[in-house]
């Protein structure tokens, strides 16, 4: 709902969407705004997610400001079109409500839908709560359309946990949003017939590589522009969103690195452990693409041991966030900084399984005992062959 309200205030030119749980409420609510005449948006109903994102790309390269939303297998069906949107430099803002990918069918949260898109060329921002979803939607319009960036953005939030929770959100006035987001000034709109351009051209090996290199440049600029836009919003709201949130990490010995809604319980447990003399902290990664490697390696430079908690798996490999964090630390070490501390990888919360305070305490306890395992560990998983534990929790 916070994302839908941001959409109403942003008043995009075009929305094309196809509903899927748990993102359904976003296009549903927005369709009401269209029907009630609260927005000027051209709302395109389509027959599939593939068509939805395709219509978004067409409208975006025509010069329109475009938004949409989806989840899970809907995101999966759009997969083919995401790299095309990014390569067209189509600054679409996308409400991605994280839900596990089937099978088995499951409507609840994990990050297995957005993680396969991490190499599609889209910016990925993971939000902790509804307030951050709202604020990030506003900022993402500016970020995506910035001439140094021109890259589409996924605004990720945890399905049901964040998307369906009743909680207070502080909204800006409509006028303040209109002023903050401004209007899109497209660089090479398809509909500018005086300056004709072509999208979707056939490009052989003579030029393809250079076009991709330009695209990577836009992505790399996103970290700087994100800080600028966030600083600008903070002057209006007092809420600042750096790419990485450091919660009591400055003097921490043990740090949990995590994304999205489960950061809250980690912060609660860190406070609790601090009151008992354990120097615990939480490093919340907000921006996953582009990945803020330097900030993360700097934040972890003084810790004894860190744990990275992933809400998705990479079967046969290292879970995505753990892989990035380890890569950042290795890069920092190669640049002449001290040898990194051990980083333990954990997988939690697949298919919406909760992360409880006791789970987080166990992770911190393991870190403080110096436990280290080469393979990822699982949190809250019922191990064994079934039988005796079947049906219990």
Which residues in this chain contact another protein in the complex, by CB under 8 A? 22, 107-108, 129, 158, 160-162, 164-168, 261-265, 267-268, 354-357
Select 152 or 352, whichever has its Cβ closest to another protein. Answer: 352
Give the Cα separation of 16 and 349 in Å (integer).
31
Taking the complex as a whole, how short is the minimal distance between the CB of residue 92 and another protein, in angstroms?
28
Select 65 or 267, whichever has its Cβ closest to another protein. Answer: 267
Q: What is the DSSP letter of 243?
A: S
Integer-rounded Cα Rg, in Å, for the chain is 21
Taking the complex as a whole, how short is the minimal distance between the CB of residue 355 and another protein, in angstroms?
6
Select 310 or 324, whichever has its Cβ closest to another protein. Answer: 310
As given in the structure block, the two tokens for residue 37 are: 């005449």
**By C-alpha distance, which of 46, 42, 2 is closest to 26?**
2
Select 71 or 261, whichever has its Cβ closest to another protein. Answer: 261
Question: Could you tell me if 273 and 364 are in contact, meaning their C-beta atoms sit under 8 angstroms apart?
Answer: yes
Taking the complex as a whole, how short is the minimal distance between the CB of residue 291 and another protein, in angstroms?
24
Give the Cα separation of 298 and 285 in Å (integer).
13
Taking the complex as a whole, how short is the minimal distance between the CB of residue 125 and another protein, in angstroms?
18
Q: What is the DSSP letter of 188?
A: S
Taking the complex as a whole, how short is the minimal distance between the CB of residue 352 and another protein, in angstroms?
9
Question: Could you tell me if 97 and 71 are in contact, meaning their C-beta atoms sit under 8 angstroms apart?
Answer: yes
Select 207 or 382, whichever has its Cβ closest to another protein. Answer: 382
Select 281 or 290, whichever has its Cβ closest to another protein. Answer: 281
* Pairing, β 280-285 against β 244-247: antiparallel
Question: Could you tell me if 313 and 350 are in contact, meaning their C-beta atoms sit under 8 angstroms apart?
Answer: yes
Q: What is the DSSP letter of 79?
A: T
Select 140 or 261, whichever has its Cβ closest to another protein. Answer: 261
Going from the C-alpha of 58 to that of each of 44, 71, 135, 143, 380, the distances in angstroms are 12, 21, 27, 20, 44
Q: What are phi and psi of 44, to 5 degrees?
A: -105, 115
Give the Cα separation of 116 and 152 in Å (integer).
16
Taking the complex as a whole, how short is the minimal distance between the CB of residue 277 and another protein, in angstroms?
21
Select 166 or 209, whichever has its Cβ closest to another protein. Answer: 166
As given in the structure block, the two tokens for residue 260 are: 């999205």
Question: Could you tell me if 95 and 155 are in contact, meaning their C-beta atoms sit under 8 angstroms apart?
Answer: yes
Taking the complex as a whole, how short is the minimal distance between the CB of residue 359 and another protein, in angstroms?
9
Taking the complex as a whole, how short is the minimal distance between the CB of residue 55 and another protein, in angstroms?
29
Select 182 or 357, whichever has its Cβ closest to another protein. Answer: 357
Give kind and range of the element (H or E) at residue 223: helix 208-237
Taking the complex as a whole, how short is the minimal distance between the CB of residue 268 and another protein, in angstroms?
5
DSSP state string for 191-204: T-TTS---SS----
């Amino acid at each position: 709902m916070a994302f839908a309200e941001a959409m109403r205030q942003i008043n995009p030119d075009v929305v094309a969407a196809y509903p899927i749980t748990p993102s359904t409420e976003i296009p549903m609510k927005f369709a009401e705004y269209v029907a009630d005449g609260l927005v000027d948006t051209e709302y395109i109903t389509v027959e599939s997610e593939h068509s939805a994102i395709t219509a978004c790309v067409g409208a975006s390269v025509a010069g329109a400001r475009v938004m949409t939303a989806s989840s899970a297998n809907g995101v999966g069906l759009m997969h083919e079109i995401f790299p095309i949107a990014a390569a067209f430099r189509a600054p679409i803002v996308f409400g991605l409500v994280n839900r596990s990918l089937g099978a088995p069918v499951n409507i609840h949260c994990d990050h297995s839908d957005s993680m396969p898109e991490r190499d599609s060329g889209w910016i990925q921002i993971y939000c902790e709560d509804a307030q951050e979803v709202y604020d990030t939607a506003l900022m993402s319009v500016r970020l995506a359309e910035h001439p140094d960036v021109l890259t589409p953005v996924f605004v990720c939030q945890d399905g049901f946990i964040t998307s369906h929770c009743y909680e207070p959100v502080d909204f800006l006035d409509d006028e303040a949003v209109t002023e903050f987001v401004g209007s899109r000034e497209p660089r090479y709109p398809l509909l500018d017939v005086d300056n004709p351009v072509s999208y979707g051209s056939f490009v052989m090996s003579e030029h393809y590589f250079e076009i991709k290199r330009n695209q990577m440049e836009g992505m790399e600029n996103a970290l700087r522009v994100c800080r600028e836009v966030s600083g600008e919003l903070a002057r209006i709201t007092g809420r600042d969103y750096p790419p990485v949130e450091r919660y009591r990490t400055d003097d921490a010995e043990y740090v949990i690195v995590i994304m999205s809604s489960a950061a809250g319980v980690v912060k609660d447990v860190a406070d609790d452990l601090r009151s008992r003399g354990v120097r615990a902290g939480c490093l919340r990664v907000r921006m996953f693409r582009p990945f803020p490697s330097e900030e993360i390696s700097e934040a972890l430079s003084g810790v004894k041991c860190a744990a990275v908690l992933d809400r998705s798996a990479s079967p046969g490999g290292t879970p995505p966030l753990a892989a990035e964090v380890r890569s950042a630390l290795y890069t920092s070490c190669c640049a002449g900084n001290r040898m990194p501390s051990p980083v333990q990888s954990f997988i939690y919360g697949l298919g919406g399984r909760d992360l409880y305070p006791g789970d987080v305490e166990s992770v911190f306890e393991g870190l403080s005992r110096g436990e280290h395992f080469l393979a990822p560990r699982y949190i809250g998983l019922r191990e064994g062959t079934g039988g005796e534990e079947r049906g219990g929790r």
